[in-house]
Structures are given as C-alpha cells and as structure tokens.
Amino acid sequence: MGFAGVAAAAAPFDCKTNHCGILHDAPYPNFVIGIVDGVATPGQTAVILSDAQRAGAWHLFPPSPAAFSAKIEPISINFAPGLSITVLSAAWETQILRLSPGELIRFAPHRGLHEKPRPHDPYWVGVGCVALLCAAGDTACERGYRPGLYRISDGALLDSTGKLVPGGIRIDTISMRPELK
C-alpha cells in the first residue's frame, strides 16, 4: 500500500493531515526542490513511523521506533506556498549535511550505479538522497532554482498529486536549474 494524495501539511510532520506529509511506501519517486521546513526529532520520527504502520505502509522496515530513528531522518520540504512533503533520508547523510530550516535542498530517489542498495540494510529501500543547493537566506542562489516536484526522467513539473503540469517548466536533471527555452 502506498500513500497517495495532495502533499499538503498544516505544519511539518503534522500527522493529523495526510499521513505526516509522506506520500509513498517507498522513496518518493520524483525530484523535490524546496525549502527545509523541518528535520524530525527522534520523537517525531517515532510518531511518523507509527502513523505509517497504522496505515498499512512501511512493512519492509523493522518495526522498532528506536532502530528506525537511529537510521532514518524525515525531512519536511516546502515546495510551494502551503505545500510540504516529507521525505526520508539516511540519518548519517542528514547529519553530515547538518540541514537546517530555511535551506534550499534537492531530494532524489536512489538511482544509478553509484547508489546500489547497501547489503543487509533494511532501511535503504525507503530513503533517498538529499543535496544542499543553497544556504538559508541566500536569495541570489535561490533565484537560480524553482521549488517544485519534477519527474525524474525528464525534469517535467508535476503537481502535488504527481500529475504532469501542462505547459509547466522543466528542470535540467543534473543541475536542477530551469531549462532555458
């Protein structure tokens, strides 16, 4: 079972609306470019895991909240006014990046030869890769990007339900910057 629907959350990790902002039982399959509006605490992470398990999702993850919190760090990304999505990153990766609210980041599902599953890591199936694009408040940097959800195959803009936006912009799938027309 996967989560589906609009990625709107009243606040980061608000589990009273739309499953804490989580949309899929696996890593979100598209690019997300947006502003970090929260990095979950271990307590929030346990609530998010519990909510997903109650909904019948994430059955591939070990059920222990402590183990999950030690390996996974949910990140809430605001990609449009009033719209946030929660993605999952490996805790070690997020801790290296030291993400903070207000930073512009890119999330991508694992792909390619350099991101093969780690042997004996049951959490690998649910996480993706996060990259810092701009420091918080760096408006000159931020102007070079367009927050949104983008199809991984060609950079086409998607709406919050995953449908193609007719006439929407496309991003370069390497630089994450809008393609010039």
Q: Is the residue at 5 inside a domain? A: no
Residue 11 pLDDT grade (very low, low, confident, very high; cuts 50, 70, 90): confident
How far is residue 162's CA from residue 140's CA, in Å, rounded to a whole number? 29
Please tell me the predicted confidence (pLDDT) of residue 105.
97
pLDDT at 6: 47
Instruction: Tell me if 12 is assigned to some domain.
Output: no
Total residues found in the chain within this entry: 181
Backbone angles phi, psi at 77, to 5 degrees: -120, 120
Residue 113 domain flag:
yes
Q: What is the pTM of this model?
A: 0.88
Total structural domains within the chain: 1
Residue 140 domain flag? yes
pLDDT, the chain, mean: 84
Distance in angstroms (rounded) separating the CA atoms of residues 26 and 40: 18
Residue 54 lies in a domain: yes
Residue recorded with tokens 């936006």: 165
Is the predicted pLDDT of residue 4 greater than 70, yes or no?
no
Is residue 39 a part of any domain in this protein? yes
User: Within 13 Å of residue 66, how many CA atoms lie on the same side as its CB?
Assistant: 0
Is 150 inside any structural domain?
Answer: yes
Among candidates 62, 107, 65, which has minimal Cα distance to 88?
107
Backbone dihedral angles phi then psi of residue 4, each to the nearest 5 degrees: -150, 155
End-to-end CA distance of the chain: give it in Å, rounded: 39
Task: Name which residue leads in pLDDT, 15 or 137.
Answer: 137
- Does residue 1 register a pLDDT over 70? no
Q: How confident is the model at residue 120 (pLDDT cuts 50, 70, 90)?
A: low
CA 3 to chain centre: 14
Tokens of 80: 């449009």
Within-domain flag for 102: yes
At 135-176, the pLDDT tens digits run 999 999 999 999 999 999 999 999 988 899 999 999 999 999
Domain limits for position 27: 18-158
Query: What integer is the mean pLDDT of 20-34?
Result: 81
80-101 average pLDDT score: 88
Rounded Cα distance between 177 and 144, Å, is 6
